[in-house]
Amino acid sequence: MTDEPASQTAQLPSTQINRLSERQRHDREALHDVLDSALVAHVAVVREGVPVVLPLLHARDGDRLLLHGSTGGGLLREAAAGAPVTVAVTVVDALVVADSLFESSANYRSAVVFGRCSVVPPEGRLGALRALSDRLLPGRWHEVRLPTPKELAATLVLEMSLEHASVKVRSGPPSPADASAEPPPDGVPLWWGIVPLTQTPGEPVTAPDVPAGTPLPPSVLDLTQRRSRKF
């Protein structure tokens, strides 16, 4: 899943999946689905010869991945300086309960993006921060004040191309039962199948210094009224 010139991708790992390669997805929609369905991206760089991984909130904006954090963060500074970066995102949709522990697994959607980040220029920083805000809590951007110059100066916003990425998906029931396996010792029929997993918003907890009787804003109401949010 890459359209970059060979000169730009020569030093990047291959995006071809070797283990269970039939689960690899090559369509752009599958990559977008994984990135849009997860809240956290694990970002890795090598610092002083040691691999370092940091979990970050992220957002997809078209065909770019947005990451942000403090300007004091060492990993982000390395990424901003052009260090090679690997980003991994995983969504676990279900536990796969098979007739044996060996065949038990999980249904998941995962993506790994390779490349280098660039700093979002000042003229695009508010738009990128709004995209991040809308990803986490749609509508909140219009309910609060804009970031101050001091806050903007303390925030590093990076963008990364999605051109060099791989996607792997497992779905469906467990593998068929092994006919050669011994039956359960007690003779009771053994169940197997899948157990779906979801993330559900809980009840909002008001901060101590909010005046009594302050209503919940529309953005929070919209989030909490959903039975289950696709994170």
**What one-character DSSP code corresponds to residue 83?**
-
- How many domains does the chain divide into? 2
Closest Cα to residue 167, out of 88, 93, 99, 97? 88
The domain spanning residue 95 has which CATH number? 2.30.110.10
- Is 183 among the domain residues? no
- Is 65 among the domain residues? yes
More confident residue, 176 or 125: 125
pLDDT-based confidence at 231, cuts 50/70/90?
very low
Please tell me whether residues 30 and 136 are part of one structural domain.
Answer: yes
pLDDT value for 48? 85
pLDDT value for 63? 94
Please tell me whether residues 105 and 139 are part of one structural domain.
Answer: yes
28-32, 45-49, 166-170, 204-208 — which is least confidently predicted? 45-49
**Angle subtended at Cα 163 by Cα 160 and Cα 165, rounded to the nearest 5 degrees:** 95
pLDDT digits (tens, 9 = 90+) for 52-93: 999 999 999 999 999 999 988 888 899 999 999 999 999 999
Please tell me whether residues 46 and 148 are part of one structural domain.
Answer: yes
- Is 222 among the domain residues? yes
* 84 close to 11: Cβ distance less than 8 angstroms: yes
Please tell me whether residues 136 and 211 are part of one structural domain.
Answer: no
Please tell me whether residues 118 and 35 are part of one structural domain.
Answer: yes
Please tell me whether residues 61 and 124 are part of one structural domain.
Answer: yes
Dmax (CA) for the chain in angstroms is 70
Please tell me whether residues 125 and 212 are part of one structural domain.
Answer: no
Please tell me whether residues 223 and 171 are part of one structural domain.
Answer: no
**What one-character DSSP code corresponds to residue 161?**
E
- Is 1 among the domain residues? no
- Is 184 among the domain residues? no
Q: Which two tokens stand for residue 5?
A: 């010139």
- Positive or negative, the Cα torsion across 199, 205, 206, 207? negative
CA distance 173 to 170: 10
pLDDT value for 179? 63
Please tell me whether residues 145 and 223 are part of one structural domain.
Answer: no
> Any idea of the CA torsion for 229, 200, 136, 167, to the nearest 10 degrees?
-60
The residue range of the domain holding 88 is 6-176+190-197
Q: What is the pTM of this model?
A: 0.85
Please tell me whether residues 19 and 62 are part of one structural domain.
Answer: yes
Please tell me whether residues 81 and 150 are part of one structural domain.
Answer: yes
Please tell me whether residues 165 and 206 are part of one structural domain.
Answer: no
Q: How many other C-beta atoms can be found within 10 angstroms of the C-beta atom of residue 71?
A: 13
- Is 48 among the domain residues? yes
- Is 185 among the domain residues? no
